[in-house]
C-alpha cells in the first residue's frame, strides 16, 4: 500500500442508488466535483474513476474501459476490480487522519476511524489554523525546515494537544 494525497485530481463517478450517493458525499467532503460517467458512453478525461451501485457486469465493463485508458479505478465493495482502496477518513479542517486495512477488514478500519474521531475532535480545525500560522511565521523568518519541524513539535507539546 502507498498512502498518497492528490491535490485537485480529475475524478469520474459512475453508479446508481445509495452507493453512488455515498461516493458522491465522499468526494464532496474532499472538495471534489466529479465528472459524471455514463455506462456505454465514451469515458471523459479523468485520472480516477469511482464506480458504485452497479451490477458486476457493468462494473467490470467500466473498470476494463477505464484501465485501457490509463484511469485508476475503485469499484465499491469489489476489491478484485480495484486499483486502489479508500481508507476510513476523519477530517478536521486541513487535518486528515486515515485508517486502512488494504480492503481486508473494513470493519476494523471503521472502528479505528471511530477511535481516532473520539481523540481528535472538532477543535482540531482551529488547532490546524494555529499551527499553520505559526509555521508560516517561522518559514518567513527563514528558518531551516528541520528547525520549523522542531518548533512545530514543541508548539503542539506546549499546548498539550496530544496528551
41 with 49: CB under 8 angstroms? no
SS3 state of residue 13: strand
Domain covering 7-86 in this structure, CATH number: 3.40.50.720
Domain residue spans in the chain? 7-86, 123-159
Q: In a structure prediction context, what are the per-residue pLDDT tens digits for the chain, which is 163 residues long?
A: 787 888 889 999 999 999 999 999 999 999 999 999 999 999 999 999 999 999 999 999 999 999 999 999 999 989 899 999 889 999 999 899 999 988 788 899 999 999 999 999 999 999 999 999 999 999 999 999 999 999 999 999 999 999 8
- E runs forming strands in the chain: 11-15, 35-36, 48-52, 72-75, 88-92, 95-99
Set of cell numbers at residue 48: 480516477
Report which of 106, 5, 91 is spatially closest to residue 48, judged by C-alpha positions. 5
* Cβ pair 64, 25 in contact under 8 A: no
Amino acid at each position: 500500500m502507498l498512502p498518497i494525497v492528490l491535490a485537485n485530481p480529475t475524478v469520474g463517478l459512475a453508479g446508481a442508488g445509495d452507493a453512488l450517493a455515498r461516493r458522491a458525499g465522499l468526494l464532496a467532503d474532499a472538495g471534489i466535483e466529479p465528472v459524471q460517467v455514463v455506462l456505454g458512453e465514451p469515458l471523459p478525461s479523468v485520472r480516477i474513476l469511482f464506480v458504485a451501485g452497479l451490477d458486476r457486469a457493468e462494473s467490470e465493463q467500466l473498470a476494463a474501459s477505464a484501465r485501457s485508458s490509463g484511469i485508476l479505478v475503485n469499484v465499491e465493495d469489489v476489491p478484485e476490480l480495484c486499483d486502489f482502496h479508500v481508507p476510513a477518513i476523519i477530517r478536521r479542517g486541513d487535518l486528515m487522519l486515515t485508517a486502512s486495512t488494504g480492503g481486508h477488514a473494513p470493519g476494523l478500519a471503521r472502528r479505528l476511524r471511530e477511535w481516532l474521531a473520539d481523540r481528535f475532535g472538532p477543535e482540531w480545525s482551529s488547532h490546524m489554523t494555529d499551527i499553520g500560522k505559526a509555521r508560516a511565521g517561522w518559514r518567513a523568518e527563514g528558518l531551516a525546515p528541520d528547525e520549523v519541524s522542531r518548533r512545530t513539535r514543541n508548539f503542539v507539546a506546549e499546548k498539550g494537544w496530544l496528551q
